[in-house]
Amino acid sequence: MERRIDKKMVICGVAAALCFAALFAATFRSRAQRGQRTVAMVSFGDSVYTDIGGMEPIPDRLAERLGISSYNASMGGTCAARLEAERRLDSAKGSLCLAGLTKSIRAGDFAVQQTSRLRESTAERFPGIVDGLAEIDFAGVGIVLIGRGVNDYHAGTPIRDPEDPRDEYTFLGALRCAVEDLRRVNPRVRILFVTPTYTWYPEMGVTCEELDNGGGLLEEYVEAQLELGEELGIETVNLYHDFFPHERWEDWERYTTDGLHPNEAGRERIADRIAQTLLPADAPGPADGEQAGVDKS
């Protein structure tokens, strides 16, 4: 009986040791890959910048125009600011806002996002996107595109806190903190704000000039973003004013699928507009694109 027990214990011990070794190896490989990937541009957008509708994402079109490598970290439904009422930095949704992601970039630790799991079907791809972010060496990224804001508007997020300009639960506070985090990791990175476009809401029969979700009209968010960009020395692509025609109600069908998300023509128009900012007419062509936005001095 004692021999049988001893033999069983030995087998269990060996199995446990093998499992531990496999887990250690997997963890070591994961850490070894962390921060090793090099890309020229990273995009932090919402659903406007994803492949919703099966159409090629705007960041991919932009990368093709510039001839650079790119990583699209856009996630539908996410905001710049934290929204959770309990104000917990480790909440699932809060960790995926722009301020939460850049804080993890600065810390070099995405454990909060990687252990968070959202139940929404639209969030199924988020863990993979976060894992990809963890592999990027942000010290070598040339361009960071920030295209969030419309969901902050939809959520009624306060635009600013006069007493705390770095309040991550406000739109401007989140943008400010994100810029500071990115510049701390990479002082030479070229950050680009991209404002939301003019939007229509056909089901409600109103436009962004009429709909106030509690934080103000969309144009107020845009104007605030433009002002912050000037204050921080951030280039801002204004897609709100004089971009999508909106003289007639039916104009929403020209460049969007539903009044908000761009259709094929809208995506092309946006990619072209951003490319004009990143690669001016007198700048080198795509052959030198890998260095776009990187100061070589």
pLDDT tens track for 34-75: 568 999 999 999 999 999 999 999 999 999 999 999 999 999
Mean pLDDT of 279-293: 49
Residue 296 is predicted with a pLDDT of 35
Mean residue pLDDT of the chain comes to 85
Q: Check if CATH label 1.10.1740.10 holds for domain 37-291.
A: no
Residue 118 is predicted with a pLDDT of 56
Taking the C-alpha atoms of residue 94 and residue 79, their distance in angstroms, rounded to an integer, is 9
Mean pLDDT of 83-97: 69
Q: In the structure encoding, which two tokens stand for residue 61, read together? A: 């079109």
Residue 119 is predicted with a pLDDT of 52
Please say if the pLDDT value at position 283 is more than 60: no
Q: What band does 125 get if pLDDT is binned at 50, 70 and 90?
A: confident
Task: Count Cα atoms within 13 angstroms, Cβ side, for 64.
Answer: 9
How remote is the C-alpha of 275 from its chain's centroid? 18
Instruction: Kindly report, residue by residue over 165-213, the tens digit of the pLDDT.
Output: 999 999 999 999 999 999 999 999 999 999 999 999 999 999 999 999 9
What percent of the chain is modeled with pLDDT above 70?
A: 76
Q: Are strands 190-194 and 143-147 parallel, antiparallel or unpaired?
A: parallel
How remote is the C-alpha of 151 from its chain's centroid? 12
Q: What band does 112 get if pLDDT is binned at 50, 70 and 90?
A: confident
Name residues whose C-beta falls within 8 Å of residue 255's C-beta, 6 or more positions apart in sequence.
197, 244, 262, 263, 265, 266, 269
Residue 103 is predicted with a pLDDT of 95
Q: In the structure encoding, which two tokens stand for residue 77, read together? A: 């439904």
3-state DSSP: the chain helix, strand, coil percent, rounded to 5?
50, 10, 40
Q: What band does 100 get if pLDDT is binned at 50, 70 and 90?
A: very high
Nearest C-alpha neighbor of 108 from the set 31, 39, 176: 31
Please say if the pLDDT value at position 120 is more than 60: no
Q: In the structure encoding, which two tokens stand for residue 251, read together? A: 């104009």
Q: What band does 147 get if pLDDT is binned at 50, 70 and 90?
A: very high
Taking the C-alpha atoms of residue 176 and residue 228, their distance in angstroms, rounded to an integer, is 8
Higher pLDDT, 19 or 227: 227
